[in-house]
């Protein structure tokens, strides 16, 4: 397939890895923002091709993982209502709330449906005028245009039975929150290519300058990732800190202007809670007043939600890049993809699921040394063998 197999070429991958080995003279810590990048890195063993001192820090770029528990609990309450058809992408169905997940609501008789687009949910609303159709709009800037389009079409068609449960997160404020944290150990960043395909990367030069950190827009295939890492290492070794685009076949500096116009029409920026991390200022979108009638939280007014996270789960530390998933004591024991304790073990973009699915368990020796790794934020090249 064009634009896919040629970015998985083994010889070129080895050549890029050799170039990184030749460039790197000291340890560096590089954040890959997106969970899709994390999965590709772990699946393809890219972290194991790098010089020993180069550590990939897995970032919070998994929208399912960072959806606040309170919102999941609200989704469960809305989905359980008799008049509701609750629509979602499949990866939200097994994300644990305080007292179950959407699959369990479905098993208990709730009308929970997996759809492939929010526009499918709009069509369901047209075909079921006697029911309330709710779409769980979870995502970063990448999925936001389709969610925005769904409410715009619902308004054009005069639908009174469609609403959006909004969980839209913004990536650049999350990167900034990591870079400005007093515990930050990230020295270079791979920005998420698909987010930049919508938003461009005009937001990154000021961030790179302010925090003196190279930021390279990077794709998801093995060669994309190795090229992104190579460019970050080249900048770090040269003492540069610039925003660069290593994904130019998809991303332009200004991004998709039409999509950005639609987003600005439908959404406004708001403070947002990130599961496991806390509130990050101006890191989310909510519906503007002109579209607020389509806000499921407003429409259903679910009150009395009391959230309780699993005391075993350290997904907040995983999402901040403070620990690797295998350092969580519950990893692969109490917590597996079949019985997840946290969202990072469920989602196709969650770091815990990546480590579990691709067999990244700690060896007994590494486990014995894990205590020292876990004090503070861990040394370079944390033992995740």
Q: How far is the CB of 351 from ligand SF4 (least distance, A)?
A: 8
Q: Which stretch binds ligand SF4 (CB under 6 A): 33-41, 157-165, 247-255, 334-342?
A: 334-342
**Nearer to ligand SF4 (CB atom), residue 56 or residue 121:** 56
Binding to ligand SF4 (CB under 6 A): which residues in 53-112?
none
Q: Candidates 14-22, 191-199, 253-261, 329-337 — which segment interacts with ligand SF4 by CB under 6 A?
A: 329-337
The kind and range of the H/E element at 88 are strand 84-88
CB of 220 to ligand SF4, least distance (A): 22
DSSP 144-159: HHHHHHHHHHHHHTT-
Residue among 227 and 384 whose Cβ is closer to ligand SF4: 384
Taking CB under 6 A as the rule, does residue 330 contact ligand SF4? yes
- Shorter beta-carbon distance to ligand SF4: residue 104 or 147: 104
Q: Find all residues with CB under 8 Å of 71, minimum gap 6, and list them.
A: 165, 167
Work out how close the CB of 89 gets to ligand SF4 at its nearest, in angstroms, rounded to a whole number: 19
Q: Which is nearer to ligand SF4, 74 or 275 (CB)?
A: 275
Q: To which H or E segment does residue 66 belong? A: helix 63-66
Report the first-to-last Cα separation within the chain, whole angstroms.
Answer: 33
Distance CA 312, CA 101 (A): 18
Nearer residue to ligand SF4 within complex by CB, 274 or 331: 331
Structure-token match 């959006």, residue found: 164
Question: Which residue, 172 or 350, is less far from ligand SF4 as judged by CB?
Answer: 350
Query: Which member of 143, 344, 347, 373 binds ligand SF4 (CB under 6 A)?
Result: 344
3-state helix vs strand vs coil in the chain, percent to 5: 45, 20, 35
Nearer to ligand SF4, 176 or 384 (CB): 384
Q: Is 342 in the site for ligand SF4 (CB under 6 A)?
A: yes
Buried/exposed 80-113: b ≥16 CB within 10 Å, e otherwise: bbeebbbbbbebbbbbbbeeebbebbbeeebbbb
Radius of gyration of the chain (CA): 21
Which of 251, 328, 354, 383 is in the footprint of ligand SF4 by CB under 6 A? 328
Residues 308-327: x where in contact with ligand SF4 by CB under 6 A, - otherwise, as a string: ----xxxx--x------x--
Can you say whether residue 321 is alpha, beta or left, with left for phi > 0 and alpha for psi between -120 and 50 degrees? Answer: left
Q: Tokens 């609403």: give the residue.
A: 163
Nearer to ligand SF4 (CB atom), residue 176 or residue 317 = 317
Q: What is the largest CA-CA distance in the chain?
A: 66
Q: Smallest distance, Å, CB 6 to ligand SF4?
A: 34
Rounded distance between C-alpha atoms, residue 65 and residue 166, angstroms: 15
Report how far residue 90's alpha carbon sits from residue 33's, in angstroms, rounded to the nearest whole number. 22
Binding-site size for ligand SF4 (CB under 6 A) equals: 16
Report in angstroms how near the CB of residue 336 gets to ligand SF4 at its nearest.
8
Q: Is 246 in the site for ligand SF4 (CB under 6 A)?
A: no
- The residue count of the chain comes to 385
Question: Is residue 341 within the footprint of ligand SF4 (CB under 6 A)?
Answer: yes
Q: Which of 285, 247, 238 is nearest to 264 (CA)?
A: 285
335 touching ligand SF4, by CB under 6 A: yes
In whole angstroms, the minimum distance from the beta carbon of 157 to ligand SF4 comes to 40
How far from 209 is each of 196, 215, 366, CA to CA, in Å?
18, 10, 37
Using CB under 6 A, which of 331, 370, 374, 382 touches ligand SF4?
A: 331
- For the record, the structure tokens of 182 come out as 């007093």
Q: Does 367 bind ligand SF4 (CB under 6 A)?
A: no
Comparing CB distances to ligand SF4, the nearer of 242 and 309 is 309
Which range touches ligand SF4 (CB under 6 A), out of 21-29, 159-167, 250-258, 328-336?
A: 328-336
Q: Given the structure tokens 């461009």, which residue do they identify?
A: 200
Residues 347-366 that bind ligand SF4 (CB under 6 A): 352
Q: What is the rounded CA–CA span in Å between residue 291 and residue 288?
A: 5
* Cα 150 versus chain centre, distance: 22
Binding site for ligand SF4 (CB under 6 A): 312-315, 318, 325, 328, 330-331, 335, 340-342, 344-345, 352
């Amino acid at each position: 397939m064009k634009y896919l197999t040629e970015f998985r070429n083994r010889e070129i991958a080895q050549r890029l890895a050799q170039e990184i080995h030749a460039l790197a003279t000291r340890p560096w810590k590089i954040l890959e923002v997106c969970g899709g990048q994390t999965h590709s890195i772990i699946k393809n063993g890219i972290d194991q091709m790098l010089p020993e001192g180069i550590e990939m820090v897995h970032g919070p770029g998994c929208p399912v993982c960072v959806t606040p528990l309170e919102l999941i609990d609200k989704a469960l309450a809305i989905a359980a209502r008799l008049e509701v058809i609750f629509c979602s992408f499949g990866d939200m169905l097994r994300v644990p709330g305080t007292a179950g997940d959407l699959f369990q609501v479905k098993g208990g008789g709730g009308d929970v449906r997996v759809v492939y687009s929010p526009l499918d949910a709009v069509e369901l609303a047209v075909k079921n005028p006697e029911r309330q159709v709710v779409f769980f709009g979870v995502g970063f800037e990448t999925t936001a245009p389709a969610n925005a389009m769904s409410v715009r079409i619902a308004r054009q068609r005069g639908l009174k039975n469609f609403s959006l449960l909004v969980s839209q997160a913004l990536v650049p404020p999350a990167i900034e929150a990591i870079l400005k944290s007093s515990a930050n150990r990230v020295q270079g960043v791979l920005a998420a290519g698909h987010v930049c395909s919508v938003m461009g990367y005009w937001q990154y030069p000021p961030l790179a300058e302010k925090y003196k950190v190279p930021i390279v827009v990077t794709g998801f295939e093995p060669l994309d990732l190795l090229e992104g890492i190579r460019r970050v290492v080249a900048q770090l070794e040269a003492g540069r800190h610039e925003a660069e685009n290593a994904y130019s076949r998809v991303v332009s500096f200004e991004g998709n202007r039409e999509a950005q116009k639609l987003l600005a029409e439908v959404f406004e920026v708001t403070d947002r809670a990130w599961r496991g991390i806390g509130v990050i200022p101006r890191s989310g979108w909510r519906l503007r007043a002109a579209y607020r009638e389509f806000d499921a939280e407003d429409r259903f007014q679910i009150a009395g939600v009391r959230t309780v996270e699993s005391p075993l789960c350290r997904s907040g530390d995983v999402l901040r890049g403070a620990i690797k998933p295998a350092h969580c004591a519950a990893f692969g024991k109490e917590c597996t993809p079949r019985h997840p304790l946290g969202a990072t073990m469920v989602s196709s973009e969650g770091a815990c699921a990546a480590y579990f699915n691709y067999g990244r368990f700690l060896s007994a020796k590494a486990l014995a040394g894990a205590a020292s790794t876990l004090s503070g934020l861990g040394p370079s090249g944390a033992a995740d063998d």
